[in-house]
């Protein structure tokens, strides 16, 4: 079943489940972004304030991105090896399939109950309770609604985490609805500092980012006739280019490549240090459903932003993407 929108009853059911929980593990997807981690930490803090034992974790890497660690006001982040054998309640945030939990995917089957809070169109509804809404711009929007139903008080750390998720997943509110703008107003009133959040998560980069970006963009390629004539631009980040920067700097390359006006689809191929013939692919689009493209390779995401992992040489990976783009649904 493809999700469309979360009902009022979905929100109520989720809040009731959380209200009765005394021990909770909250998981985000591998390589968590601001929406996954900000939402998880905000929800975790609210539950902890209600007296629950709470842990927040993710499958990889071993530590949270440096740009996001400061969101953990309460020390909720827990290494996967320190998690209990199973949970009475497992909450999966911003994670459309168990596969996206990485090495923690097996915990879904072991948990007593599984609450899924997510806004991906590719969500497979793998839990026992779901708040899944494709129309929500961020999972943080859905967590906000659940916390509101729960009667949780918005304080600065909770507002900070939710605002981080919303501002990043809406591209700085460029894709935010009036309702989400009103939600952001409430987060600001609760103490979220928009300048500090955006600066620390989005704007600040180490100097090493500049030579890395220069090397990668210097080899970028534009194929104007690809992607059904709408244009395809891609860049490759080999291990050598990424050695001097953090993972978040590598992830940011797609935001530069996607700005090319001659291409409706942008891709960045990031080489896996442990498996040189394996590439993590970031896809962005203004005219083609890239979630459908990613799904062809076992990945997923949103219609305009998705990802997957493909094995092969650069030429083979690009050829595979090019072929699938030619038959992908248009937006």
pLDDT single digits (tens) 3-20: 346 789 999 999 999 999
- Which residues does the chain have with pLDDT short of 70? 1-5
CATH of domain 8-203: 3.90.1640.10
Domain ranges of the chain: 8-203, 208-326
pLDDT-above-90 percentage for the chain: 93
Euclidean distance between CA atoms 184 and 192, whole angstroms: 9
So what CATH class is 208-326? alpha beta
DSSP state of 61: S
Q: Please, what is the angle between helix 139-150 and helix 8-19, to 10°? A: 60
Contact (Cβ atoms closer than 8 angstroms) between residue 227 and residue 326 = yes
**Phi, psi dihedrals of residue 68, rounded to the nearest 5°:** -115, -10
pLDDT at 3: 39
**8 A C-beta contact, residue 306 and residue 324:** no
Q: Give me the pLDDT at residue 135, please.
A: 92
| Percent over 70 (pLDDT), the chain | 98
User: Hey, which bits of the chain come out as E strands?
Assistant: 23-27, 53-57, 89-93, 113-118, 129-132, 221-223, 232-237, 265-272, 275-285, 300-301, 305-311
Distance CA 331, CA 329 (A): 7
Domains 8-203 and 208-326 share a fold: no
pTM of the prediction? 0.89
């Amino acid at each position: 079943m493809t999700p469309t929108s979360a009902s009022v009853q979905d929100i109520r059911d989720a809040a009731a489940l959380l209200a009765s929980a005394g021990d909770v593990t909250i998981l985000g997807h591998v390589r968590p972004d601001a929406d996954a981690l900000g939402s998880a930490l905000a929800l975790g803090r609210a539950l902890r304030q209600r007296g629950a034992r709470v842990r927040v974790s993710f499958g990889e890497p071993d530590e949270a991105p440096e740009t996001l660690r400061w969101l953990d006001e309460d020390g909720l982040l827990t290494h996967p090896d320190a998690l209990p054998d199973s949970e009475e309640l497992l909450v999966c945030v911003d994670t459309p399939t168990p596969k996206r939990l990485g090495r923690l995917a097996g915990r879904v089957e072991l948990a007593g109950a599984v609450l899924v809070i997510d806004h991906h169109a590719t969500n497979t509804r793998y839990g026992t309770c779901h708040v899944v809404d494709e129309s929500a711009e961020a999972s943080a929007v859905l967590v906000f609604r659940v916390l509101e139903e729960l009667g949780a008080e918005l304080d600065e750390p909770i507002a900070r985490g939710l605002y981080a998720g919303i501002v990043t997943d809406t591209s700085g509110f460029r894709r935010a609805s009036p309702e989400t703008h009103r939600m952001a107003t409430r987060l600001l009133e609760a103490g979220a500092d928009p300048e500090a959040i955006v600066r620390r998560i989005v704007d600040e980069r180490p100097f090493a980012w500049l030579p890395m970006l220069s090397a990668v963009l210097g080899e970028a390629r534009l194929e104007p006739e690809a992607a059904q004539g709408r244009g395809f631009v891609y860049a490759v980040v080999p291990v050598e280019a990424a050695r001097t920067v953090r993972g978040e700097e590598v992830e940011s390359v797609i935001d530069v490549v996607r700005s090319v006006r001659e291409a409706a689809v942008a891709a960045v191929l990031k080489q896996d240090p442990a498996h040189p013939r394996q590439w993590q692919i970031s896809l962005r689009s203004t005219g083609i459903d890239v979630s459908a493209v990613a799904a062809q390779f076992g990945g997923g995401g949103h219609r305009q932003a998705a990802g997957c992992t493909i094995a092969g040489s650069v030429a083979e990976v690009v050829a595979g993407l090019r072929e699938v783009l030619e038959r992908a649904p248009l937006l």
